[in-house]
Amino acid sequence: KNQVEQSPQSLIILEGKNCTLQCNYTVSPFSNLRWYKQDTGRGPVSLTIMTFSENTKSNRRYTATLDADTKQSSLHITASQLSDSASYICVVSAGYQKVTFGTGTKLQVIP
């Protein structure tokens, strides 16, 4: 069964600190992995897309890593800001039709 598990479920960090969110998946065959940021009451916004051959991708203060062998991905946020408070969702695609969403990590950045 295709599954995407994210950890931690929730996280509180001080503004300016770094943090890392984890995503483990059992989706097969692997097509791509995406990280989304979803602010409360808004639609998800894409942060990164990674395919099998990519193991690091950055988008401003967000850096995603992918280890296709261990089926793990991480999202590292550098120098967090209050506006980073949101849910971060890992999504793994197996081909076109099978898209599996993780349950997300709720991040709260406090001053």
Partner 1 sequence: DTAVSQTPKYLVTQMGNDKSIKCEQNLGHDTMYWYKQDSKKFLKIMFSYNNKELIINETVPNRFSPKSPDKAHLNLHINSLELGDSAVYFCASSQGRSGMAFFGQGTRLTVV
Residues in contact with partner 1 by the rule CB under 8 A: 31-32, 34, 41-46, 49, 87, 89, 91, 93, 96-97, 99, 101, 103-104
- Residue written as token pair 């991040």: 107
- The tokens describing 23, both together, are 């995503």
Among residues 19 and 35, whose Cβ is nearest to partner 1?
35
Q: Report whether 110 contacts 14 (CB < 8 A).
A: yes
For partner 1, which is the closer residue by CB, 41 or 111? 41
Closer residue to partner 1 (CB): 9 or 70: 9
Residue 16 CB, shortest distance to partner 1, in Å, is: 27
Question: Exposure pattern of 26-43 as b/e (b: 16+ CB <10 Å)?
Answer: ebeebebbbbbbeeeeee
